[in-house]
Chains A and B, each alone.
Chain A
Amino acid sequence: MDEEYDVIVLGTGLTECILSGLLSVEGKKVLHMDRNDYYGGESASLNLTQLYRKFRPDQSPPTELGRDRDYAVDLIPKFIIASGELVKILVHTDVLRYLEFKQIAGSFVYTNAKISKVPSTEGEAVSSPLMGLFEKYRAKKFFVFLQGWKEDDPATHKGLNLDKLTMRQVYQHFGLELGTQDFIGHALALYLDDDYLNKPARETYERIVLYTTSMARWGKSPYIYPLYGLGELPQSFARLSAIYGGTYMLDKQVDEIVLNDDGTFAGVRSGDETVCAKMVIGDPSYFGAGKEADGGRLRVVEDGKVVRAICILKHPIPGTDGSDSVQIIIPQNQVNRRNDIYIAMVSSTHKVCADNIYVAIVSTIVETSVPEKEIQPGLQLLGPIHEKFVTVSPIYTPVSDGTQDKIYITRSYDATSHFETVVEDVQDVFKRVMGKDLELKKREADFDQ
C-alpha cells in the first residue's frame, strides 16, 4: 500500500465499480477497497451463508433451501431496462462479454384489486382488461401521437408543446381517465408518485419512449436481468478496472479519511497503513452515513428511507401465469399512498436460487413510522411467504460536489425499478472528477483470435 494512486474508490457497489472501470480505462491509477469480503456493497447478491450472516447472525441457513452455491439473492431490487443507459455502458465497455442476460418474463400492474399484465403486444393490448373499449380508443390516439412525435416536424406536435404543457394537461387533451393516467404514469413512465402530473410533459414523454422501445426490443417485458444476480454487474466492471491496471482489496477496513491541512483529501488510513491519492470516490457508508458528524464534518444527509422485504417463496406469484420473473407495480392511488409499491421477482431461471424457489422483493419509499406495514399490500399478493428478510435503508446524498475537497461521494440506491438513476450518478461523478462529459468509446478489440 505504499504506492500513490490517482483515485481511491471505497465500496464496490455498482456505481463505484462502473466509475472505477471507466476511470481505469481513461488511464487513471485506481485503488479500490471494500470493508466486506465480497463484491457489491449495498448492491451485492448474497449466497445463503452471506444472507443469513447479514440478517440472522445467530442462525444457519436451513438445509431444505438447498445448496449455498445456487443462491445469489439481490439486496436491491432492480432490473435493467433494455434501451437504457446502463445497457449502452455495458455494450461500449464490452463488459457484457463477462455476463449473460435473460429477459424478465412479464410486467404487471395492480388496479382495481387485481393484477393485470402490462400489454407487450397489440394483441395483448386489445384483449387487456385494463381499460374499457372507448378508453382503449382514446389511449390508442394518445400512443399514436407519442409514436408519431418528431422533434423537428411541428406537424407531428398537433399543437401540443411538451415543454409548456403539464402532463395533466396532456392527459386531459386526450380525455384519458384517471385509471389510465395511473397506468401510463406509473406502469409505463415508472413514476413513483404523482408529482409529475404538474410538471412539463417532456420528461414523461421520454420515459414512455424508453419503456416502449425497451419493450419492443425483446418483447414480454422491457427488462433484462443478468444470470447469477445483479451482483455480477459490479464484479464485471471491477474486472474491467483490474484489466486496465486497477488494484482491488476486499475485506479491508477503512478507518479514517485523512485530510491535508486545508481540508482537502490526502489519503485513506486502514489500521496503521495510510495510502495516498489525489482524490477519493466512495459510497456514503464510508463518509459518516448513519453516524453523528465526526469532527464537525457533515458529508452526507439522509433523504428519505426505502423499506425492502426479501421474500423466499416456493411458488410463482399467483395471477402471473406462473411467470419465472416479474415486476408488479402497485400504483400509490390504488392503495391510498403517496409512493408506489414495487414487487420484483426472479427465480432459478436466472440462476439466483435453487429449483422451485422464487425470490421476490417488495419495496417502497417509507411514509410512516411502521414501514413493514406499508408494504403489506405487496406482501399479500405473494401467497405464502416461506422466509422474509426486511430492511429499512436510509437514502443518503452528499452535501457537496467534491470539487473543493476532492471527496466525491455517490448516492445510495433509490427505490426506482431500474438502474437509470445509478448511471446518472455515474455520469455526474465522472464529469466532476474528469472535468469532461463521459463519452462512451468502444473498447479496443483485445480478443486475441
Chain B
Amino acid sequence: MSKQFQFKLVLLGESAVGKSSLVLRFVKDQFDDYRESTIGAAFLTQTVTLEDQTTVKFEIWDTAGQERYKSLAPMYYRNANCAVVVYDITQATSLDKAKTWIRELQRQADPSIVIALCGNKLDLSARRQVTEEEASKYADEQGLLWSETSAKTGEGVNAIFNAIAKKLPLTAPPSARGARGAAPGTARQGVDLNRQPAQGSEACNC
C-alpha cells in the first residue's frame, strides 16, 4: 500500500503577483485573467504522487488578502511545513517583498520548513525586470527551491509543487486531518473539539 502524507503549504508574496492564480492552476488547472479574491474558501487541497507511489497531500492556505496592508497574521504561517513565496518577474520590488517574507519565515516559522521562491508571470517575460540569475543566486544562498512559472499558461506550475513534495521529509507516519501544530505528517496531538462530549458520564466532582 502506498503511503500518504499531508502537509500545510502557505502562499506568501506581495498583492497581485499571482499567488491565488498559481494555486488555481495547480489545483483546478484553470486560469482567469480578472480573478477576484476568493470569498469563503479557507484552503484548497491537492495531491501529488511521487515516483515511488508515495502521495503528498498539500493543504494550501491562501492569504485571503490579509497581506495587502501588512496584516497577515503570524498564525497563518507559523505551522507551515512548506511555503511558496511568489514574486512577479515584471516587478523588481516584488522580489524585495519576497525576500522580506523569506526572512520572516526564517525567523518565525518552523526551522524545517521547505521554502520555494517562485517567479511568476513568465508569460510576460518581454517585460522582465528580475533576471533569472539574480533570483536563482539569492535562492541558492538561502537554500531555497527556485523556479519561474506562468499561472496563465501553466508552465512550471506542477514542477514547483512536485519539487517541494520531493524535498519534504517523508519519514513521519501518515497524517490525520490537518497538518497544523503537528510535526510533518503526524496526527493532531491535542483535544478534538469536533468530538462529541461523552454522554452520561459522571459529571459530579464530589
Contact = CB atoms under 8 A, between A and B. Distances in A.
Interface string A87-99: 1001100101111
A139 to B, nearest CB: 5
A127 to B, nearest CB: 12
Interface stretch (A162-170, A213-221, A379-387, A420-428): A213-221
B35 interface: no
A179 interface: no
B193 A91 contact: yes
Contact of A212 (B40, B70, B203): B203
A213 B45 contact: no
A248 B69 contact: yes
B189 A96 contact: no
B1 interface: no
A18 interface: no
A284 interface: no
Interface stretch (B73-81, B95-103, B123-131, B135-143): B73-81
A232 B194 contact: no
Q: Quick one: which of B42, B68, B198 has the most chain A CB within 10 A?
A: B42
B204 A242 contact: no
A83 B199 CA distance: 13
Given A122-B202, A224-B191, A245-B39, A239 B64 contact: yes
B25 to A, nearest CB: 14
Given A97-B42, A136-B206, A147-B203, A243 B68 contact: no
B191 A218 contact: yes
Interface string A70-98: 00000000000011000100110010111
Interface in B177-206: 178, 180-182, 188-191, 193-194, 197-198, 201-206
A216 B198 contact: yes
Interface in A239-287: 239, 242-245, 247-252
A239 B10 CA distance: 14
A87 B188 CA distance: 18
A292 interface: no
Nearest to B196: A217
Contact of A448 (B45, B194, B197): B45
A288 B189 CA distance: 44
Contacts of B197: 82-83, 213, 216-217
B194 A96 contact: yes
Contact of B190 (A68, A101, A143, A449): A101
Contacts, number: 139
Interface string A355-374: 00000000000000000000
Given A39-B73, A100-B181, A102-B191, A140 B206 contact: yes
Interface in B55-98: 64-66, 68-71, 73-76, 78
Interface residues of B, number: 41
Nearest to A209: B203
Nearest to A241: B64
A447 interface: yes
A309 interface: no
Given A96-B193, A213-B203, A235 B75 contact: yes
Given A100-B181, A212-B205, A248-B71, A242 B66 contact: yes
A447 B205 contact: no
B27 interface: yes
Contacts of A188: 205
Interface residues on A, range: 35 or more
B45 A143 contact: no
Contacts of B188: 100
Contacts of B204: 122, 125, 140, 143-144, 146-147, 212
Interface in A114-153: 118-122, 125, 128, 131, 136, 139-140, 142-144, 146-147
B30 interface: no
A80 B73 CA distance: 21
Nearest to B57: A449
B44 interface: yes
Given A118-B205, A212-B205, A243 B42 contact: yes
A244 B40 contact: yes
Contacts of A444: 40
Given A119-B205, A248-B69, A446-B40, A235 B198 contact: no
A243 B41 contact: yes
Contacts of A232: 75
B66 A448 contact: no
Nearest to A144: B204
Contacts of B41: 243, 446, 448
A119 B206 contact: yes
Given A239-B76, A446-B41, A448-B41, A143 B206 contact: yes
B44 A448 contact: yes
A108 to B, nearest CB: 13
A133 to B, nearest CB: 12
Contact of B74 (A97, A100, A235, A248): A235
Contact of B75 (A131, A143, A236): A236
A268 B191 CA distance: 41
A58 to B, nearest CB: 23
Contacts of B194: 91, 96
A69 interface: yes
B128 to A, nearest CB: 32
Interface string A150-178: 00000000000000000000000000000
17 contacts: A94-B42, A96-B194, A99-B180, A100-B189, A101-B190, A102-B190, A102-B191, A142-B206, A147-B203, A212-B205, A216-B201, A235-B74, A248-B68, A251-B70, A252-B69, A447-B42, A448-B27
Given A147-B204, A209-B203, A238-B66, 12 more contacts: A39-B74, A100-B188, A118-B205, A122-B202, A125-B204, A140-B206, A144-B204, A213-B203, A242-B64, A248-B65, A248-B66, A248-B71
Interface of B: 27, 37, 39-45, 64-66, 68-71, 73-76, 78, 107-108, 178, 180-182, 188-191, 193-194, 197-198, 201-206
